[in-house]
Structure 1
Amino acid sequence: MRQYRLLSPMIKVVIVLFPLLFSTAQAGLVIGGTRFAYPENQSSISVELKNTSDRDMLVKVAVSPDDARHLTGTVESLPSFSGTVFIATPPLFVLKPDKNTKIRINRVGGGLPADRESLFILNVAALPTLENSHSVKTDNQLQIAVRNRMKIFYRPSNLSEDPNMSYQKLRWARKNEIVTVYNPGPRYVTLYNLHVDGKVIDGGMVAPFSHRQQSWCKSQGVCEIAWQFIIMLYLHGK
């Protein structure tokens, strides 16, 4: 555990580091990761999917620009992208029970910034078949599509610093109840498992070269902020 007292004597920031490699599984569909790196010098990356259920699954995949759902409070505006930047293939397919496959993400356009990461969302929706595909559908039969959202970080080749050290660049300041966190670096930083004075808060992320402001603290007294930085094994399968 490391403790930092940054920019203000009235705010105490505690950071816990630990390695973690995420995968996600919902309703029988296992996706080989929750975040993926797309290096500029690669023509494509792949993402592995597995159907662990006993039914066929209709799977739909698409890549969309970041919609800033992970950013709350007062946030600087993010770069916008026109046109299609990434495509996922195949976009629609059936995945048989106990089978796995790979989808491929290709960059097809977009003038992305060369001095920072750009964030995109991989959307995966899976619709399992009915238990008896030959039965007549009745009003009390319901099919629910399971939707997953994974992060894709586009990384320009000239970003040489270790992404797992990006948390060290964050700077914190406080004025009354308002906390401002500054990210002067070129990479996104996730405030995972954030606690403010012992209370769990949805921390989200801090975008490159930007800052966020949140009404996290009480107006008086020392405010303690604790969060975890995940030393991620970012996936960029070939």
Structure 2
Amino acid sequence: MNRLLCLVCFFFSISVSQASVVVGGTRVIFDGTKKTTTVSVQNKDNVTNIVQSWLAIVDETSPAKDSFITTPPLFRLKAGEKGFVRILRTGKPMPEDRESMLWLNIKGIPATDDVSDKNIVQFAINSRIKLIYRPAALKNAIPEEFAQKLQWSNDGRAIKVKNDSPLYMNFSEIFINGKAVPEAWFVAPYSTIRIPVANASPAGKKEITWSVINDYGMSGPKYKAIIQ
């Protein structure tokens, strides 16, 4: 009992320091006619934060995995300050007939030398947003142009979505017979995905309602399709 009481007192005596580095946007569209782009970050914490940035692949087979770097990969951002992370092409060849996508990770860690209270538990928060490379040949293409052309089918075990376009289709919502499909789904250019759902049995028609996320991170128009 005394041990439990000591533990409770210990945890109540601890302060919590949580990094609050905010990324300016929910996605980055990298213009293929450019060599670099920037992402804004702001430290909304009351102490200096160490900001770390890096890229991670979405697809293991993607040739885009070594085609970009972030700079600076590590830097200090004082309380209330704004800064920028640059994303640069490395010169490695990439597909120019379709988009490529990576994860941009930005983590804020409270600087220990700015923390006077030693009884502090620090939390680092990692923000992950999509970096979409749009080749020069597709400069004027937008997701809304192709969203309605997605092809839906039912194989009895899952709902399939075929994307015949050169752009990534990132869904903001999918409904099957009025029931929302959980999780965030996307379908790569010229590819098909399977969405396992409990009510995918072939009996009866299925009404699919969907919308995709536009370049500004907002939900686009809703579309409907009826499949068997």
TM-score by length of 1: 0.74
C-alpha contact (below 8 Å) 1:55/1:131 kept by paired residues: no
**1:165 alignment partner AA:** E
In structure 1, how many angstroms separate the alpha carbons of the residues matched to 2:82 and 2:115? 22
The answer to whether 1:194 aligns with 2:174 is yes
In structure 2, the residue corresponding to 1:50 is in which secondary structure? strand
Q: What are structure 2's unaligned runs of at least 5 residues?
A: 1-17, 218-228
Matches within 5 A, 1:167-206: 167-197=147-177, 198-206=179-187
**2:63 alignment partner AA:** F
Aligned mate of 1:154, from 119, 133, 147: 133
**1:32 aligned partner:** 24
C-alpha contact (below 8 Å) 2:172/2:213 kept by paired residues: yes
Aligned mate of 1:54, from 35, 46, 49: 46
Distance 1:65 1:165, change over 3 A: same
**2:221 aligned partner:** none
C-alpha RMSD of matched pairs (Å): 2.3
**1:230 aligned partner:** 213
Distance 1:229 1:157, change over 3 A: same
Distance 1:203 1:64, change over 3 A: closer
**1:15 aligned partner:** none
> Which has the higher relative contact order, 1 or 2, with Cα contacts under 8 A spaced 6 or more apart?
1
**2:129 alignment partner AA:** M
Matches within 5 A, 1:86-125: 86-125=68-107
In structure 2, how many angstroms separate the alpha carbons of the residues matched to 1:203 and 1:212? 13
In structure 1, how many angstroms separate the alpha carbons of the residues matched to 2:168 and 2:200? 27
**1:46 alignment partner AA:** T
In structure 2, how many angstroms separate the alpha carbons of the residues matched to 1:63 and 1:176? 37
C-alpha contact (below 8 Å) 1:65/1:81 kept by paired residues: no
Larger Rg: 2
- Would you tell me which structure has more helix in proportion to its own residues? 2
**1:143 aligned partner:** 122
Q: What are structure 1's unaligned runs of at least 5 residues?
A: 1-25, 68-77
Distance 1:175 1:201, change over 3 A: same
Instruction: Report the number of matched residues.
Output: 196
**1:151 alignment partner AA:** K
Deviation at 1:48, TM superposition (A): 0.4
**2:100 alignment partner AA:** S
Identical positions, percent: 32
